């Protein structure tokens, strides 16, 4: 079983994409973690529900019509960050499986070439 030129090209391109994801995924993970940390420390009304609740209780946020949105916004942002982190983890796992499949294809190709040179 030999791969056609198009199939071999496809496998090579997928290998490149998998190798690139290591860096892209790592940078994306750092960006999400950095955003979460930034929101937690610098913009607590967007990322820290405990600070938001304390400010509401202290009366720092006077407009009662915004009470629900102010309390819910950090929860929503936190859930969003968790969903994004989970998505990145799923992509890592899927690409690990694809990497394994490509390694199997390449191993079969090497075995086939070795058989062809032995005969």
Question: What's the predicted TM-score (pTM) here?
Answer: 0.61
Who contacts 2 (Cβ-Cβ below 8 Å, separation ≥6)? 109, 112
Q: What is the domain partition of the chain in residue ranges? A: 5-118
Cα dihedral 34, 37, 40, 41 in deg (nearest 10): -110
Whether the predicted pLDDT of 86 surpasses 90: yes
The tally of CA atoms less than 13 A away on the side-chain side of residue 4 is 2
pLDDT digits (tens, 9 = 90+) for 19-32: 898 899 889 999 99
Give the model's pLDDT for residue 60. 81
């Amino acid at each position: 079983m030999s791969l056609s030129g198009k199939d071999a090209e496809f496998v090579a391109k997928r290998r490149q994409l998998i190798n690139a994801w290591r860096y892209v995924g790592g940078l994306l993970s750092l960006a999400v973690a950095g955003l979460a940390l930034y929101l937690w420390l610098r913009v607590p009304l967007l990322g820290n529900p405990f600070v938001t609740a304390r400010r509401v209780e202290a009366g720092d946020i006077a407009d009662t019509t915004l009470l629900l949105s102010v309390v819910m916004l950090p929860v929503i942002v936190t859930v969003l960050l968790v969903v994004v982190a989970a998505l990145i983890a799923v992509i890592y796992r899927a690409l690990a499986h694809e990497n394994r499949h490509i390694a199997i294809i390449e191993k079969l190709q090497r075995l086939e070439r070795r058989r062809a040179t032995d005969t």
